[in-house]
Amino acid sequence: MSYKALAEIIGEADKEGKLFWEIILDEDCRESGTSKEESFRKMLYMYTAMKEADSNYDASARSASGMAGGDGKLLEEYRKQKNRLIGNFLTKVMEKAVKMGESNACMKRIVAAPTAGSCGVIPAVLITYEEEKKVSQDKIVEALYVAGGIGEVLAESAAISGAKGGCQAEIGSASAMAAGAIAYLEGGDNETIAHAAALALKNMLGLTCDPVGGLVEVPCIKRNVSGAVNAIISSQMAIAGIRSKIPPDEVIDSMRRIGSLLPECLRETGKEGLAITPTALGKLKFNDL
């Protein structure tokens, strides 16, 4: 049976004396009927696909609409500058988030994490962490189980679809998943993982889904950057000992309620928000956006 609350996962972990990721691994094995080794191999395969999508980024590629492509290279060049306001870790996270989103839009390998529209958040955070902190791939895979467990609860108790819950359900969910994963990698216990996810999700509540032309390009790709950076800072607050005053599962429930209250025009229909600005409606050509 799928978990419907983070408290259920933590309770199970405490009862069995296991870590958050181990509970999710066990559940996957029960549901799929596979061994732990096979489950782990499949998760490693997914992470490898993320890394391949990142390494195969083509700065010259453009999406069919002309709205996406090339910005990842700009951030790569920016990262090489010495007078940057932010450090290398966050700059690399930003770069990879854009590159992943652009590769998706340009019909390269698509890595939904948990959706195509939010595909840049988790890969950007975890790949950067592996590269900068020199941790093993196996440790990153464990973090992916953490992210997966959080995503499972979000999908069961709220939504991960922009059409159902707005962009808070896509970028917000991905950001919460990534925050929990980083909290684990940074040595946080199960409670810290849950609060990192809650802190990240709180910052994304109410985010509308208003893609231009119905494509997950504008404003989606840049929102991946915000979601990724939000995940990092939220994980660090949780690691510092800060706790969400609203319990994590209540935050998730709030996202569900907010999503149901969002009018249809703000849930991936292209009828409001940025989707109906003069520029979006065609006063400029797509490739001028």
| Rama region for 125: left / alpha / beta (φ>0; ψ in -120 to 50; rest) | alpha
Q: What is the mean pLDDT of the chain?
A: 96
Q: What percent of the chain has pLDDT over 90?
A: 94
pLDDT at 270 over 70: yes
| 204-252 confidence digits (pLDDT tens) | 999 999 999 999 999 999 999 999 999 999 999 999 999 999 999 999 9
pLDDT band for 97, please (50, 70, 90 cuts). very high
pLDDT at 279 over 60: yes
| Rama region for 2: left / alpha / beta (φ>0; ψ in -120 to 50; rest) | beta
Domain ranges of the chain: 6-288
pLDDT, position 2 = 83
pLDDT at 188 over 90: yes
22 vs 142: CA distance, rounded Å: 8
pLDDT at 283 over 90: no
| 151-171 confidence digits (pLDDT tens) | 999 999 999 999 999 999 999
pLDDT at 112 over 70: yes
pLDDT, position 111 = 74
pTM: 0.97
Question: What is the phi/psi pair of residue 209, to 5°?
Answer: -105, 105
Burial 273-287 (b: 16+ CB within 10 A, else e): bebeeeebeeeeebe
End-to-end CA distance of the chain: 45
pLDDT at 289 over 90: no
DSSP letters spanning 27-70: HHHHHHT--HHHHHHHHHHHHHHHHHHHHT--TT---TTSSSSS
- Cis amide leading into 123 (omega within 30): no
pLDDT, position 286 = 58
6-288: CATH, from 2.60.98, 3.30.2390, 3.40.50, 1.10.4100? 1.10.4100
Nearest to 3 by CA among 194, 228, 245, 262: 194
| 249-266 confidence digits (pLDDT tens) | 999 999 999 999 999 999
Mean pLDDT of 79-99: 96
Contacts of 138-141 with CB under 8 Å at 24 or more apart are 138/40, 138/44, 139/185, 140/47, 140/185, 141/40, 141/43, 141/44, 141/47
pLDDT at 1 over 60: no
pLDDT band for 70, please (50, 70, 90 cuts). very high
